[in-house]
Amino acid sequence: MAKTLKIGDRVVVDRERLNDLLSSIRAMGYEIHGPTVGDGAIILGRIDSDADLPIGWRDRQDAGTYRLERREDEAVFGYAVGPHSWKRLLFPPHRTLWQAEREGARFHLLPMREDTPRCALFGVRPCEMAAIRVQDRVLMGGPYRDPDYARRREACLIVVVDCHEPGGACFCASLGTGPTEAGEGWDLALTEVLQGHHRFVVRIGSVRGLEAVREVPWRDATPADLDAAAKQTERAVRRMGRKMDPVGAKEVLYDSASDPHWEEIAQRCLVCGNCTMVCPTCFCVNVRDATSLDGSRAERERVWDSCFSLEYSYIHGGSVRFSPYARYRHWMTHKLASWQDQFGSLGCVGCGRCIVWCPVGIDITEEMETFRANVGRKKEAAR
């Protein structure tokens, strides 16, 4: 008699059956989005079969550097992370809030479609799953829920894939957000095992995940399968490119508000906002109104914004944070310090994107250690 699967089980799905898993998810009514190769990077796109996935590709990442190159094997998920985060599907860069048309001397609001896409997020890294949980706390955890985010989040199915190829800028291991699955909120979690027969160890995390696996050929995970998966995780931790000590980060940055090192960073910073655009947890938005030239139509839309833009902190009379010094200090202090006061966690998950996609390679882990060392020296001198 065949074993009855249940939540919490670990099974093995052979690489040759990955398409069966994708087909099963599509049969549940989900449009699958996942990593694919485009524009010289690993980007997110629609996945119709495993051929759309970045098979045999790796990304070389470091401060201000990103390159794709071929692997020596056919790993499906043999890369770290690309510039796109899953935030673009759950919290889109552009969203129309309302539209109106003129009728004589009056305007009337046009009906807005509230269709919520049923998306399967396939290939979410553990650090990105941690980022989604951060966004959940920000956008759904307080008294003022973002209804659009909540609908999209509740309608999606999430397939996490453990990381076995960390990038040079990754530091998730030191923050406890990777490279293997951590926390809750996912439906399936996969570990790609390349040793021996190419296969995936699959952990079932929800009823939806159970439904997705039920019709896919699988077998029980053996101790050898679990050991191979664990060894891949251990190797990934050892190869992590960077680290950051989160202990006392809030106190260090609050004590560093007047540190002259901020000016040294500002002399390198281009104030381009790349770090905020690629960050999977940043949630700042702007609301813009537009009217047609003939005055017959108007609309309001919400768009991603960045605290690095001069207009972001504008009030009557000028910007509150006029200098690059003030803007970088605000971003880093919020990410690692005041975020904890607001939401009870760091606003950073260690994905390293802000380091990689900074044109001048400003490294938040190095800057954090500089401030920590400076605070330590000030305390020592005061004794």
Residue type, 9: D
In tens, the pLDDT along 58-110 reads 999 999 999 999 999 999 999 999 999 999 999 999 999 999 999 888 888 98
Q: What global pTM score does this model have? A: 0.94
**pLDDT surpasses 50 at 131:** yes
How many other C-beta atoms can be found within 10 angstroms of the C-beta atom of residue 371? 21
Whether the pLDDT of residue 115 is over 80: the answer is no
pLDDT interval class at 2 (50, 70, 90): low
Q: Are strands 297-304 and 285-291 parallel, antiparallel or unpaired?
A: antiparallel
The Cα-based distances of 228 to 79, 123, 194, 321, 348 in angstroms read: 19, 20, 9, 51, 30
Arithmetic mean of pLDDT, 318-334: 94
| Range 216-222 contact pairs with CB under 8 angstroms and sequence separation of 24 or more | 216/13, 216/17, 216/20, 216/21, 216/24, 217/13, 217/14, 217/17, 217/20, 218/11, 218/12, 218/13, 218/17, 219/11, 219/12, 220/3, 220/10, 220/11, 220/12, 221/10, 221/11, 221/12, 222/12
Phi, psi (degrees; rounded to nearest 5) at 292: -65, 160
**Amino acid 318: pLDDT:** 86
* Parallel, antiparallel or unpaired: strands 199-204 and 41-46: unpaired
Residues 136-147 have a mean pLDDT of 92
Mean pLDDT to the nearest integer, 227-237: 91
Least confidently predicted of 104-113, 202-211, 248-257, 274-283: 104-113
Q: pLDDT at residue 111 above 90?
A: no
**Average pLDDT of 9-19?**
96
Instruction: Please check whether residue 352 is in contact with residue 167, taking contact to mean a CB–CB distance below 8 angstroms.
Output: yes
Residue 1 pLDDT class (50, 70, 90 cuts): very low
- Cα 116 to Cα 155: distance, rounded to the nearest angstrom: 7
pLDDT score at 143: 87
Question: CA 277 to CA 83: how far, in whole Å?
Answer: 9
Q: Counting every residue, how long is the chain?
A: 383
Lowest mean pLDDT among 180-194, 346-360, 366-380: 180-194
Q: How many of the other CB atoms lie within 10 Å of CB of 318?
A: 9
Q: For residue 319, give both structure tokens.
A: 């910007």
Whole-number average pLDDT of the chain = 94
For 145-178, what is each residue's pLDDT tens digit?
Answer: 999 999 999 999 999 999 999 999 999 999 999 8
For 23-67, write each residue's pLDDT tens digit. 999 999 999 999 999 999 999 999 999 999 999 999 999 999 999
Q: What's the confidence (pLDDT) of residue 380? A: 87
